[in-house]
Structure 1
């Protein structure tokens, strides 16, 4: 390397290092401000006629971990005007007895079971949702995955965020989507489950919250999303501003238009942002993502899948991802600080990881409402370290390929995140054990 380039690269590295720390601290501070206090919404006790109606759409397939409690959390929402639509593709689905038992337990809840799918694309979640989508009685839709449980006040607070204050701030873009940061809950202490928990509840949450706080672009994971059907009917996934009124659209709009994407949730959010010019908001609730029996190979498979999907949706952001991870970032910081200030690399790396762990655990405490429990501390920290060390190898494996597999079906990811069915390859990776239960599609951005 030419000698004259070294100070330039050291300065660039230091700026990058400081910038990433600033983003991480923003995520930590925002988590403290937003999630440590969750006030009750006035809508929870308002008259039924005075609040917007909401249709809750929950796609079901098989016996998800904690399925009874997950579904029950939507039967017990403190909101006076909502309906609950539970959809399954097959009348023999094992989730149906649980759904019917809950309907018997809560007879006052307006709940319907909708059986049968409408195939509009390759995405099975969209196909499952289509009949519920068409039959929903209300304009506001809350699409929530079957492996998620929520607090009883979540819907009211989310509608508050979606509707906004009576007098909007001049020049502020309208809220078109409200989403909830995922928070992993482990029910079976397996290594893959613990790594997924450590990832979602620390680094992923920190970056997810920070990106949404800056509102520079759409960044949504579809575990739990609230939006208006009237908005969805105007977008098609092109990510281009919508055509003027009275102009014939070249592509279909609405939920069927997103059946061609594997990450339909992220594409819907992006379309609302770019096609309508609206923005998103995070409520002060979390989507408690119940993680079941996940092996190490399941975790690796999941990360590879979504890296390959994101590569075709946001290439630049995906290629930059390794340089935001703690291990690579610590090397960048150590090299820059040593060259510019002769700080020993071992010292800067040590301080880096001590502070990084402190920030991650603070984010965990904000989302959970309590510090990391002492009885799982050793398992959690082991999984946290494994996640950080595995991040770069998983990325390097995933970035060179476009084939993904979901529930035993092979797909080739195309431009802009669209997918096409493909024949499964015979590589060793395709022989990794696939999840046995329904895992709703989402984008871990």
Structure 2
């Protein structure tokens, strides 16, 4: 048994470490909050928005579709109304009977001056990822080098494309050119609720506060790739040089490329292909990423609480296989656990009682999160919805650690009604016929739908 002096040293070390980590985490949170204020509270119009087609780079917009997602008509219409003179749209489906095509054809008739195509997969398979399989036909047919891959449940503002191309392809006389060429321009997900269920409210509170704060902070510090691919722009010519191995290409600056299979097809083996594409461009080509001042408005429909939990478990399990160290540290970035640890450390070091520290901790944490929400939304949480939002925020904070524990012990996930086993580096394979044990039963119980989004009636 350790002597009293050794125990005292250990307590002092742990207490000091908890307070230092608390300060570090708050520094990251403040970076995210301040960066959100600077980036999202002013969204200037790009000069490219009024430039003729001959003066701007061409862009091919790829939208993978599967059925009638929430707000589908308005989501897809937002790509037809971009303030940009040189782009085409591909609507990608598995087969010609997909219900989404009714909406697509209505919009193509409404906007005949926009170049739009329907790209049908027709059975082509390059991997287990259904989104990648869905995109392959359009990927091969795209007329332009710049690709904008935009999920079906995302709506964007009219100026988003022009502002994004400004960053991806800056003019020669740009006032602050990046030190490294930008390989990916992405947009922070911003949830807006169309059906006020508990799960959708918790998802909204998570995406628009803590997730956005950390996402923006990590991309501001930019020590490594961190991309959620709801809305991403990158160059096809860059993607054709990488394979997802994350091994640096020795002569990348001279046009070097990886041997073997490259391009979008090489990422069909990953479930989080968006993150892996961004990581490959970062690590293999040495390119960097940047956020525009726009958000990817993610319409959340009739999501139950179990839908929300299943969604979070899925992505923790995927991240565990891709970035294990960051995933293991994740609980120490949450307000409840880090607040409790810091309160114990401060009581030991300074004699501050937890009953005094913790209320201040949660109030300040909430204030910062609400400020991030206001930056992304352009307004504070409406007064009529404030208590519902605060309740959802509190529920999210309290559930974070239990969800992490459920996620960390398994490797199977369910996505779009299919089950996968996540393997090393985020690759996936079809799961066996088992039902995932007790955790799988808990996740299936109480869920409204496997896609997490409420279908819309087809418009006439």
* Alignment match, 1:430: 440
CA-to-aligned-CA distance 1:5-51 (integer Å, 9 cap, x gap): 11111111111000000100110000000000000000000111010
Task: Answer yes or no: is 1:208 the counterpart of 2:222.
Answer: no
Residue of structure 1 aligned with 2:199, choices 192, 195, 201: 192
- Give me the CA root mean square deviation: 1.6
Question: Using the alignment, how far apart are the partners of 2:313 and 2:451 within structure 1?
Answer: 19
Task: Answer yes or no: is 1:127 the counterpart of 2:133.
Answer: yes
* Alignment match, 1:241: 248
Change (3 A) 1:357 1:131: same
Q: Secondary structure at the match of 2:357?
A: helix
Give 1:21-36 correspondences, 5 Å limit: 21-36=26-41
CA-to-aligned-CA distance 1:156-181 (integer Å, 9 cap, x gap): 00000111242476881110000000
Residue of structure 1 aligned with 2:16, choices 11, 20, 43: 11
Change (3 A) 1:246 1:29: closer
Residue of structure 1 aligned with 2:321, choices 268, 287, 312: 312
* Alignment match, 1:412: 421
Question: Using the alignment, how far apart are the partners of 1:247 and 1:156 within structure 2?
Answer: 30
Assess if the C-alpha contact under 8 Å between 1:27 and 1:210 holds in 2: yes
- Aligned pairs, how many? 439
Change (3 A) 1:247 1:197: closer
Assess if the C-alpha contact under 8 Å between 1:177 and 1:281 holds in 2: yes
Task: Answer yes or no: is 1:279 the counterpart of 2:288.
Answer: yes
Q: Secondary structure at the match of 2:303?
A: coil
* Alignment match, 2:142: 136
What's the offset of the Cα at 1:429?
3.6
Assess if the C-alpha contact under 8 Å between 2:71 and 2:153 holds in 1: yes
What TM-score, normalized by structure 2, do the two folds share? 0.93
* Alignment match, 1:323: 332
Question: Using the alignment, how far apart are the partners of 2:323 and 2:151 within structure 1?
Answer: 24
Question: Using the alignment, how far apart are the partners of 2:273 and 2:438 within structure 1?
Answer: 28
* Alignment match, 2:458: none
* Alignment match, 1:104: 109
Give 1:154-173 correspondences, 5 Å limit: 154-167=160-173, 172-173=179-180
* Alignment match, 2:401: 392
Task: Answer yes or no: is 1:403 the counterpart of 2:412.
Answer: yes
CA-to-aligned-CA distance 1:167-222 (integer Å, 9 cap, x gap): 47688111000000000010000000000000000000000000000001000000
Task: Answer yes or no: is 1:290 the counterpart of 2:293.
Answer: no
Residue of structure 1 aligned with 2:391, choices 382, 395, 399: 382
Long gaps (5+) in structure 2: 454-460
What's the offset of the Cα at 1:353?
0.4
